[in-house]
Every structure is written in structure tokens, then in C-alpha cells.
Amino acid sequence: MWAAAVVSRFGDALRGAALPLLAVSLTDSPVLVSLVTACGFLPWLLFGLIGGAIADRVDQRRAMWAVDGVRAVLMAGFAVAVWLDRATIGLLLALAFALTTLQTLFDNAATALLPSVVGQQALGRANARLMTGQEVMGRFVGAPLVPVLLGLGAAMPYAADAATYLAAAALVASLGAAPPERAPRPPGGSLRRDIAEGLAVLWRDRTLRALCASTTLCNIGIGALIATLVLHITGWLDAGNTGYAAVITVYGIGSVAGGLVAARLTEKLGRARALVVCGTAQIGALAALGAIRSLPVAVAAMGLFGFAGIVWNVTEVTMMQQRSPDGALGRVSSAFRTLSIAGTPLGALLGGVMAQAWGLNTPALGAAALFVCGVAALVPGMRSVIN
């Protein structure tokens, strides 16, 4: 399962770096180019809850390898279209939308399957290893290879992505873990009822409800930061492309370092305390980034932000897996993801407005304020949680 996740992330990194370059070669409309990114979020809002409900109804292994098989076919067809010079911006948008729609089922199934693969006590370490492997493969292996592949042909990144989907499908299909046991479903159950049950579980669990609200607020801040970071570094700091590359690289290094120690850190501090500490560290990093006009400070701040961010992510997913009732994890996961992911595009829009109205550094300060609200929303639900 780890190998499948890492291989798939490698392919995603190839596609993620190549698609924007292809988009700007197909159209000079900023709106159409921005829609490519929007297609990475919109299916979660439309189909995320449905994907979670389906994930709780089916054999998650079969769902995962079937989804990857379909994605391999889609990517192979797109690679052929690029090779034949038949790709259009409309085809690109349709592909991005279809891949993310399929991802809503895959990600929820993967989250629900992991506890049956490694067991409850190993979830923290397993999540940390999954996220760290994906970060390394995507940021430090996949993305840097894109110029090399493009040098071999415009279709090569997409053909390679199709091959990684096939490899991941084969790896998931080889899993020997038995599917998790589920209680018999009541007769006449519908997807709408299943979705409502997942939302109800998330709402009734005070800790998960607080964690979801906190993550949503933080994601609004992250959206604002991501959308304007290049302007912050190249404009407000006047550090140019080299400075931006340095910030992004150190952010990736910090994320990997955080993944390597996440399990031990949460075991030492306890999960609730680890979340509060990481959120507080990110507030400090964002405040320094927005208030101090220095490239070394920005590099250090983003390194700390990446470190604390992946520890937060590992802890968040592990707590959700451990606290969700048997047979409902896919639905709880989808409800959590759908609500929290909705904050990112909202934050991106907010960041653009803030940067234009009040200065290029204000999105980072606004993100810090949102993280303060996020940590404040988190604390009441964590008082009864020790580990």
C-alpha cells in the first residue's frame, strides 16, 4: 500500500507540473488557466460525500485498483491526444475534473482501508510513512524530472503518469489484507441516508467536530498563502525566482523532516497537545513571514510551516481513523475532507483580494489570524483527549 501511494504520487507530480505548462500553451485566457486548478477542488465539493458513502459499501481494495485502472486509461488517452497534437483546453479541463472526481472515491477508500492493513496501534506511524514517502517522491523526484521528460516529448509526462496508475493498481490488487468487517446494512438504505449518517457521526463527536472546524479555518489561510506566495517572495521581498525556489525547497525539506518525526512527536506529546503545538508554531511562522522583510526569515518560516503542517496532517488523519465507528470511516472521512477542502479555494480568492487591497504581505498575516481562530476552535474539543 505504501509503494502504491508513493508510485501514484510520483505520477501525480509529473502531471501536476506539466498540466499548467500545457494549459498556457493552449490558451491565453487567465480564466481558463485558473479553471484547471479549480477542477482540482470542485469535484470534492460536488462528489466528495458520495465517494465516501460508496467507499463504505464496497471492497475498498477493489475500488482503489479499479479507480487507478480507469485513471490509467484516461491518462493514456490524453497522452495520445497530446502526441497527436489534438489536445485542447476543453479536453484538459475535462481530464482534470474526471481525475479529481475519481480521486474522491480512491482517497476515502484508502483512508478506510488502512486500519485493516496495519491495525489501530500502528496508524500514526503508517500515516507518517505514507505522507513522508509521498512528499519525497512528489516534490524531490517527480517534479524535477518534468523538464527531462518534456525534452523527450510533450506527451511523456502523461504517458509516465498512466504507467504509474497501472503500477499502483497492480500493487493495491496484490494486498493480502482482508476487507474490514461491516455490520449488516439495513434494508432500503440509500446513498443519501449513508451520507447523512456520516455527517451525523462527524457532528456528534465533539473532538472530530472541533478538528474539522479548525482545519477548515486553517485551510482558508493556507489557500490565501498559496495563491499569493510567489507574489510575496518575488514582489514584497524582491527575492526573484531564486528566492521563491529557495522558499519552496526548504518548505519541502521541512515537510519531510516533520513526517520523519511525526509519530514519535505525537506519542511523546499526545495527539491533542501535538495539534495545539503545531498550530501555534504555524501561527508564529506565518506572522514572521508577513511582518519581517527578510528572505532568510521567510525561508526559515516556511521550513517551520512545512514541518508543523505535516505533523498536523498525520495526527488529524490518525485521530479520524481511530475515532470513527466501524464501517463509517469512508463517510466520516469524506465529510471531513469535503468541509475542510472547501476552505482552500475560498482562501485563495480572499488572498488575492487582500494582496491587491492592502499589500502583498497581508495574506500571510491574514493566514496567521485564521490559524489563531483555528487553534482557538480546536482547544475545546481536545480537552478530553490525551493520546
pLDDT band (50, 70, 90) for residue 189: low
- Is residue 194 within 8 A of residue 56, CB to CB? The reply is yes
Answer with the residue of higher pLDDT: 282 or 51.
282
Q: Does position 387 have pLDDT exceeding 50, yes or no?
A: no
pLDDT attached to residue 219: 93
- Mean pLDDT score, 86-104: 89
pLDDT attached to residue 343: 86
Name the least confident of 88-102, 180-194, 364-378: 180-194
Q: Does position 385 have pLDDT exceeding 70, yes or no?
A: no
Q: Identify the CA nearest to 15 among candidates 100, 127, 110.
A: 100
pTM for the whole structure: 0.85
- Is residue 338 within 8 A of residue 44, CB to CB? The reply is yes
pLDDT band (50, 70, 90) for residue 181: low
